[in-house]
């Protein structure tokens, strides 16, 4: 019995999570395990009703689960950033979800915008550090000749910055990135371990030629960690170069490890070469604690309740969830069922089909019963 939390969230989120639960339930029946779902109603409706984003009780209860199945956050009635920071990023920091796992794989039957490339060419994984870099919240804006001091106190950081800047500029803004040796080491170790289970090649992404302090540390830790994995071939790529090679030669890559900001950018490029946001899943992982799995697209509130949303990214995220909890055979079967649904043309409008959200999810669940 696996106890899993479900957070539908906003917009199309509840619809696509329902389809994902449907497929995972079919997988559990086929592979002889049980899932007990607990739904959490966290999102825009509650925030608009009483101003609540996340409570201590929410975090305590969610922390009792090994995995959270997450839909989408964002609502046009709420100013951008409030829900995203107050819920999604808050969950990532609270549960220390330091690995963002993004498979970049072209499924059979899906078209890529890259000429001459097919499924055998596009099959790699990006491991993005998920809690450090320029996302730690150290920044401010102030008028010229104004002094500012900012304190940041998190589990990994206790940093004070006092700035005294004189400038003729009317207003100044700054954002400071933080990388710790511990933070770099743990996510790079995860990436090396993953590479050992795949094709034993690991590419590190940085911009150490310009941002030499913060990414110089990243590169230094990578070099040290690589000594523990002599069987893994390693290489460095600057982030601007890696965007070119993703497009020209995606077959070069197996596992890619990257700091937070660059990972945020290059994984969206990866989503496009694998067929679009509707096909891109993600995992936010703490290997020793609660982890969270979600599609990487938004909540698309204008399509809420219309039954046209593509559930594949969410179902694929469910496959990542199954793999994470140890149901590897079921995880693979879910991915095969997705491919069969695509091959059979039972897909939503964005992929050239006519199936509703519910029909697409149901068909993948049906395909699962005849797989393997």
Asked whether residue 2 falls in the same domain as residue 95, the answer is yes
Asked whether residue 327 falls in the same domain as residue 269, the answer is no
In this structure, is residue 128 part of a structural domain? Answer: yes
Asked whether residue 291 falls in the same domain as residue 230, the answer is no
pLDDT tens sequence across 339-363: 999 999 999 999 999 999 999 999 9
In this structure, is residue 152 part of a structural domain? Answer: no
Q: Per-residue pLDDT for 229 more than 60?
A: yes
In angstroms, rounded to a whole number, what is the distance separating the alpha carbons of residues 300 and 295?
Answer: 12
pLDDT tens sequence across 234-278: 999 999 999 999 999 999 999 999 999 999 999 999 999 999 989
104, 273 Cβ separation under 8 angstroms: yes
Supply the CATH number for residue 327's domain.
3.40.718.10
* CB count in 10 Å sphere of residue 369: 13
In this structure, is residue 29 part of a structural domain? Answer: yes
Q: Structural domain tally of the chain?
A: 2
Which of 273, 289, 315 corresponds to the end of one domain?
Answer: 273
Asked whether residue 322 falls in the same domain as residue 265, the answer is no
In this structure, is residue 308 part of a structural domain? Answer: yes
pLDDT tens sequence across 18-45: 999 999 999 999 999 999 999 999 999 9
Asked whether residue 128 falls in the same domain as residue 224, the answer is yes
Asked whether residue 251 falls in the same domain as residue 303, the answer is no
What interhelical angle do 328-343 and 13-30 show, nearest 10? 120
pTM: 0.91
Three-state SS across 109-163? CCCCCCCCCCCCCCEEEEEEECCCEEEEEEEEEEECCCEEEEEEECCCCEEEEEE
Asked whether residue 191 falls in the same domain as residue 216, the answer is yes
108, 236 Cβ separation under 8 angstroms: no
* Cα-Cα end-to-end distance for the chain: 22
User: 259 lies in which domain range?
Assistant: 111-132+179-273
In this structure, is residue 97 part of a structural domain? Answer: yes
């Amino acid at each position: 019995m696996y106890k899993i939390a479900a957070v539908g969230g906003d917009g199309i989120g509840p619809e696509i999570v329902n389809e994902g639960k449907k497929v995972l339930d079919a997988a559990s029946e086929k592979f002889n395990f049980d899932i007990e779902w607990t739904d959490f109603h966290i999102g825009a409706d509650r925030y608009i009703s009483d101003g609540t984003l996340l409570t201590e009780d929410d975090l305590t209860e969610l922390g009792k689960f090994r995995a959270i199945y997450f839909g989408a956050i964002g609502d046009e009635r709420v100013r951008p950033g409030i829900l995203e920071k107050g819920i999604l990023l808050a969950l990532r920091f609270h549960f220390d979800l330091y690995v963002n796992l993004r498979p970049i794989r072209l499924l059979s039957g899906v078209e890529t915008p890259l000429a001459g490339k097919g499924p055998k060419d596009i099959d790699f994984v990006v491991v993005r550090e998920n809690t450090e870099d320029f996302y730690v919240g150290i920044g401010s804006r102030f008028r010229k000749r104004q002094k500012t001091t900012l304190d940041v106190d998190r589990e990994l950081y206790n940093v004070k910055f006092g700035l005294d800047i004189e400038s003729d500029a009317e207003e100044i803004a700054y954002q400071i990135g933080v990388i710790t040796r511990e933070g770099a080491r743990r996510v790079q170790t995860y990436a090396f371990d993953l590479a050992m289970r795949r094709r034993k090649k690991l590419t590190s992404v940085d911009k150490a030629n310009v941002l030499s302090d913060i990414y110089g540390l990243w590169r230094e830790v990578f070099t040290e960690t690589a000594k523990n994995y002599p069987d893994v071939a390693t290489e460095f790529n600057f982030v601007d170069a890696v965007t070119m090679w993703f497009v020209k030669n995606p077959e070069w890559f197996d596992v890619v490890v990257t700091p937070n900001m660059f990972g945020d950018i290059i994984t969206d490029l990866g989503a496009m070469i694998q067929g679009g946001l509707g096909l891109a899943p993600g995992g936010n992982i703490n290997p020793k604690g609660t982890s969270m799995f979600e599609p990487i697209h938004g909540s698309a509130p204008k399509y809420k309740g219309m039954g046209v949303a593509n559930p594949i990214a969410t179902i694929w995220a469910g496959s990542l969830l199954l793999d994470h909890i140890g149901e590897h055979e079921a995880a693979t079967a879910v991915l095969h069922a997705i491919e069969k649904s695509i091959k059979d043309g039972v897909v939503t409008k964005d992929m050239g089909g006519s199936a509703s959200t519910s029909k697409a999810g149901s068909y993948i669940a049906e395909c699962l019963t005849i797989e393997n």
